[in-house]
Each structure stands twice: as structure tokens, then as C-alpha cells.
Amino acid sequence: MSSPNYTSRRSRIQRQLKSLQVDAFLISGLSNVRYLTGFTGDSSWLLLTSNSVLLISDTRYETQLADECDGLPVVIRDASRNLIDAAADAVIDSGASRLGFEADQTSVSIFRTLEQRLSGRELTALNGVVERFREIKDKWELEQIRKAIHFAERGYYVVRSMLRRNQTEKEIRYLLEEAMRSFGASGPGFEPIIGVGPTAALPHAHAGDRPVRENSLLLMDWGAATETGYRSDLTRVLFTDKPTRQMYDVYRTVLEAQRLAIEAIRPGAKCSEVDAIARGYIQDAGYGKYFGHGLGHGFGLDIHESLRMSPLSTQVFEPGMVITVEPGIYLPGKFGVRIEDDILVTAEGNEVLTTVPRDFESARLGFLE
Amino acid sequence: MSSPNYTSRRSRIQRQLKSLQVDAFLISGLSNVRYLTGFTGDSSWLLLTSNSVLLISDTRYETQLADECDGLPVVIRDASRNLIDAAADAVIDSGASRLGFEADQTSVSIFRTLEQRLSGRELTALNGVVERFREIKDKWELEQIRKAIHFAERGYYVVRSMLRRNQTEKEIRYLLEEAMRSFGASGPGFEPIIGVGPTAALPHAHAGDRPVRENSLLLMDWGAATETGYRSDLTRVLFTDKPTRQMYDVYRTVLEAQRLAIEAIRPGAKCSEVDAIARGYIQDAGYGKYFGHGLGHGFGLDIHESLRMSPLSTQVFEPGMVITVEPGIYLPGKFGVRIEDDILVTAEGNEVLTTVPRDFESARLGFLE
């Protein structure tokens, strides 16, 4: 499959409009527009009716649109007209009297302006319509995600092989990004988190100036992005010196929690139940209050997509879904361990797409210069 | 000034609550929260009343918050409770009966959930309250912006000095990012646009595989970000071979349009009028339909802030504002020229903060290996 079938993706949405009780659907989420058109720019909205498609964009993108979305009907506005007005005019021209809009992707300000411009028409808040389709990856998307994982893993091996005691978190981050690009990534999938010792105890730390030598534990949370916009997301911990007994214990607990959770992922399993398996195991081990975030999230064009595993999730796994599984234990001021892999839900159960070893022995580096 | 006075920034907002006719103000915009607290994470909202401050965050950020916002009252939720519920509870605890929220930064979904949770209370949509303060940069912010410009300009000189005929747009992009980081930038201020010939005719192109040798014109639109989150934004065109007569004519037109616009920037000048000066000049030169975007935008913590110069702007310049001036002419399939500098509005007029030469002679490179 050399490229996705955007027409068929749009048709699936268009066929839903009747049951959603709208005549037209204004899609304003950046990644949703990209998913349905292949357009890689921003500030552009897509208007669908059951039998028409229109992209509302501006002069900055005129040529790019012709390249990326050949044949797609477009309205191009210039600086004398804003996007909301252009979209409202397109809705009026479509003849729709009931307009659906993306409530998760539309600010209250934009909604209120649209409401004024479209008075007399019914505006219906729709939630997660396109996002719901995006949860199930098609064959082409899975190829892209596998590529994004491949770039990330090759980058990791470069960093691992070149690790030095005097390297700082930031230096590792830049080396990692450069390596992933050299293999074909368009860049990192998100700002890589590189944390030595106490920094690793901050689940969302920015890489700083702490050198590897300061602590025997190094955490890396990173991923790559493909040219087509798909992402990967992994976390590994490396012991750059002799781990303490507590580090060993925490590592083993996180690893087992992850193993149990992955084992439970299959079509029909509830996201909240899989979360509970990992959370329960960590709680029983006495570390419950040191694991405060969700167990995992969907990813693809966005690094965080609508699928979530947490105590609050209401979703159920289906074949074709892709999700991270990333339990963690964070001991403030000391260190943190998180182990994160990317899982595809298959008809039979699941497939772990990531391949970097995660056993304790593989995490122990030998002598570090 | 070694760090901003967040307390005083918050006080300026708190003192406005009465005239905004609200008892409390829920600030959910990422950069607005950062501007008022110094917190560099995400998924965290700030609740202000006239005499209280509360940041609603989660366990991932517990330690980071203690580091970055020492002494700031916080509520930390874990994965069993979502941000909206935690925020709604905080509003209820505050005793506020009239709550302001950021209408530009709040999705319709979040608003409707808040409305349910806070029934009986009055929710007031506020627009651009914090953004309005952010338009005027304080002394510390100007230092950060000057740094971001310095990093960007040093990066540019590296790229210019190392330019080769076989380099591709992407290779230039990566070299530029690496160079800016080596000088102290945390990274690029946004995805750099590097375009050779026809690619330069796409105002928002992604750097691709086109080599420099394919056309005599190269466009670079780039900036740096500081560790503190402030950005710069410049565009330069380089002639890597003999420019055509048309390239010269277009360059000269854009440069003069920019000069006239910058000349007009002073306290009291209308943004739409300055836009009209550049736009009118380009129109008179016969290129009107090839300049479709706005003339410039404010920047700082975000690369695009609320201040805008376009035919639709209603804003008026004040001392302390910082804005890009970036007219462009794009000839589809051929080439594009944009020249962009960063301008500070001063009490007397303005100061051009960027220093990279932009005259035609400086844009002409000599022999390129």
C-alpha cells in the first residue's frame, strides 16, 4: 500500500452523517483534517456533506494543496477574510440546515462566532467521530507506525553504543534526534525525555545538564516521527553503574506489571481492567502512590490519541488498535523507572511491535568510559 | 533581571477580576499558565480569585512543580480523577459564584462538562485577557527574545558559511537546528522552513530533498527557542547562483515594502494601516495577488501570539510590543521571496531587533562549491 485511500476514509464519515442527525460536518482538528485529506498544513478546515467535500484554506497553502490533495475541492481565502467567515460561507453555500462540529477541537470563541454567522441553523456538538475511526489503524498506517518504531529503535542503539559518563541529558537527547533522522525519521515524535537519577523521577522532565555519571540510572522516553506524520513512543531505563537493591526491586515490579498488562490485551478486554491489572500489581508491591498516571494511550498521527488506559477509561479493545503500555514508579528525589512498549491489538490477542529488550540484564551496561 | 515576577503578573490579572465581573478566573491556555507561574509542563490549569491562587495539576508534575513554582498552592490529582473534575471542585471550594474561563483556550466539550459540574454558577467567556498582557513584553522577556534572536542569527551564519550546492533543504534544516543548539538554544522556535526555488513559493513548506543546486534561490524561515521558552522568527533569501531579473525585481519590491512598513511602526499606529502600507506597495508593483498572508504577528512564548498585522487587525501599537514584519511574494512553480525581521515598539518609534543584513548585495553569495 503506497498511500492511504482518503476518499474511502471520508466516505465512512459521510455515511454516518444521517445517523448523527446533521447535514454537514465541519472538521477543524488538525490531525483529523490530515487523516481525511493527506494535507500537512494547518489553519484549514474540512466541510463534509453526504455527497460533497470542501477544504477551506488560505493562499499560503494554495500550491501545497494542489500537490498533496490533487483534485480535492478547495476554497482559498486571502488575508482580507478570516477562516471562520470563509467556513460559515461554505456552510451556507452547502445548503445545510443542521451543522455538526468537532466539540473537542473547537474553542468556545470560534463556536460562538460560528453560531452568530449561521443563525437559524442548528449546530450540533459531535465528539470523537473522526478520532474513533483513527483508533483502528489500517494496513498503511501500521506500516508507518512500524517505520516510526524502527527509526526510534535504531536511534536508541546508537545512543546506547555511544554512551559516556560525561554525557549530559541534553547531549543524549540531541544525539538521539540526530541518529533517528539519519535513519529516515522526519524528527522526534515528541520532545524526548532523558533523565538521570532524580530527573528520571519526573515523568515529564525536560532533558537538562545532569551528566550520566551522577547516578547509576538513566531513563529515556522517546520516539520518532515518519515523513507521513506517524509516531512511535518507547521508554527504557539503563543502569550505567551498579544499580541499588531498591532500583532492582522497582525495575522488576514495573517490568512484571507491564508483562501482566500486555498479557491481558485482546479484543473485548476493557481498557480500565488492563489498567487495573498493572496498577493493582504495583499497589500490592507497595508502590501504589508512586504510580499516578494512566497506563497507556493510543498514538498515530498524534502522540496522544483518544484511546486511553486509566481507571477512568470506558473503551474496549478492538483489533487494529495500537496503544502504549507504560507503567512507572517514581521515587521523588531519588529515581524513576518506566518501561514503555507499543502494542497492536490483533484478532487473537496482541503483538508487541517494539523489539528493544527490556529484561533487567539487558538494562545493565558494562563498564562505561 | 534574573527571573520574572510571577506574583506581580498574577496580581495584574487578579485586580481585573472585578471589572470583568467574575469572582474567579480559570486559566487553561498552556502558555498563559506558564506566563503566570513559570511552570513548563502541560495539562495544568490555574485558578485565580482576587486573593487566592491555585494550580491544578497531576502526579506526573508533583516534583517539577515544587522545583519550578516553589510555594505556589497546588492541587495534585492522580489517574483516578480527571482535570475537569479537579478544576470544578477547586472552583466550588473557592466559593466563587461567577467563573470566568478562557474562551479561546477552552473547547466546547470541556466547557459543557464544566457547565454541568458547576450548575447554578455563572460561567463567563473571557477573551484574550492574559494574551493582552503578554502583548507587552517586560524587561526580562525582551532579554529572552534578544537571546532567541542571537541564537537564530548565529545558526544562520553557520549555515551560510557552510552552504554547498549538493546540500538538500532537509540537510540545511538539521544543520541549522544543530548549530542553534550548540550556541545555547533549547531547539528551533518552530519547524524551520527551508525552500529551494519552487519550494520557496510555498509560504509554509516542509524542508524536503531538493538540493541547493536546483535553483538559484534559497529561502530560510527559522528561529530559535530559549530554555525559558521564548522564540525568534526570521526569514532570509539567499541567491546561490545568478538571480534572474524577475528575482531581483521581486526581492527589491519585498524589501521596500518591508522598509516602508517598519518605518510606520510606532506607538499609536494601527496594525491594519501598517499592513496596508506594505500590501499597497506590493499591489502597486503588480504583485498584489501573490501576497496573500498577513504582514506580521506577535511572538514570545508562542511563535504566533495575539498581536497581528493584517487587513482585519483592530489593534494599535504600544511600547513594549514585539512583532514580525514579513511581506512576501510567491510565484507558484517558480520561487518565492519573503523577508522577515523582529521589531520592538519603543516609546519613540521602533527598534529592529534582528541584525542579519537584508540588502540585495548581502543576499548574493559568491562562488558556491
Question: For A333-354, how does the pLDDT look when each residue is reduced to its tens digit (9 = 90+)?
Answer: 999 999 999 999 999 999 999 9
Give chain A's mean pLDDT.
Answer: 96
3-state secondary structure of A219: strand
pLDDT at A103 over 90: yes
Query: How many CB atoms are closer than 10 A to CB A332?
Result: 13
A294 vs B: CB within 8 A? yes
Beta-carbon contacts below 8 Å between A and B: 128
Structural domain boundaries of chain A?
6-133, 136-363
Q: Find out whether A251 and A358 touch, Cβ atoms under 8 Å.
A: no
* pLDDT for the residue numbered B201: 94
CATH of domain A136-363: 3.90.230.10
Q: Find out whether B55 and B45 touch, Cβ atoms under 8 Å.
A: yes
* pLDDT for the residue numbered B1: 56
* pLDDT for the residue numbered A366: 72
String of DSSP letters for A303-340: SS-S-EESTT---B--TTBEEEE--EEEETTTEEEE-B
Residue of A62, A82, A330 with shortest CB distance to B312: A82
Query: Under an 8 A CB cutoff, do B292 and A79 touch?
Result: yes
Cell matching residue A1: 500500500
Instruction: Give the distance between the most distant pair of CA atoms in chain A.
Output: 73
Q: Which residues of A touch B312 (CB under 8 A)?
A: 79-82
- What order of strands is seen across the sheet that includes strand B234-239? B193-196, B217-222, B234-239
The residue among A55, A51, A114 whose CA lies nearest residue A84 is A114
Q: Which CATH class is domain B6-133?
A: alpha beta
* pLDDT for the residue numbered B175: 95
The cell 459564584 sits on which residue?
B97
Residue A45 distance to chain B (closest CA, Å)? 16
* pLDDT for the residue numbered B114: 97
For the residues A149-168, what does the mean pLDDT come to? 96
* pLDDT for the residue numbered A369: 58
* pLDDT for the residue numbered B153: 98
B268 vs A: CB within 8 A? no
User: Chunked in runs of 10, what are the mean pLDDT values of chain B (369 residues)?
Assistant: 89 98 98 97 96 96 91 93 97 97 98 96 97 97 98 97 94 96 95 96 91 96 97 97 95 98 98 98 97 97 98 97 98 96 98 97 80
Buried b / exposed e over B28-49, threshold 16 CB at 10 Å, is: bbbbbbbbbbbbbbebbbbbbb
Q: Find out whether A152 and A224 touch, Cβ atoms under 8 Å.
A: yes
String of DSSP letters for A13-82: HHTTTTTTT-SEEEE--HHHHHHHH----SS-EEEEETTEEEEEEEGGGHHHHHHHSTT--EEEE-TTS-
* pLDDT for the residue numbered B368: 66
* pLDDT for the residue numbered B3: 86
CA angle B56/B61/B63 to nearest 5° reads: 115
pTM, two decimal places: 0.93
3-state secondary structure of B317: coil
* pLDDT for the residue numbered A2: 74
A310 vs B: CB within 8 A? yes
Four-way CATH pick for B139-363: 3.90.230.10, 1.20.1260.10, 3.40.50.720, 3.40.50.11540: 3.90.230.10
B227 Cα distance to chain centroid: 15
Q: In which element (H, E) is residue B54 found?
A: strand B52-58
Burial class (CB in 10 A: 0-12, 13-18, 19+), A175: middle
Q: Which residues of A touch B125 (CB under 8 A)?
A: 108-109, 112
ipTM of the complex: 0.91
> pLDDT digit string (tens) for A267-325?
999 999 999 999 999 999 999 999 999 999 999 999 999 999 999 999 999 999 999 99
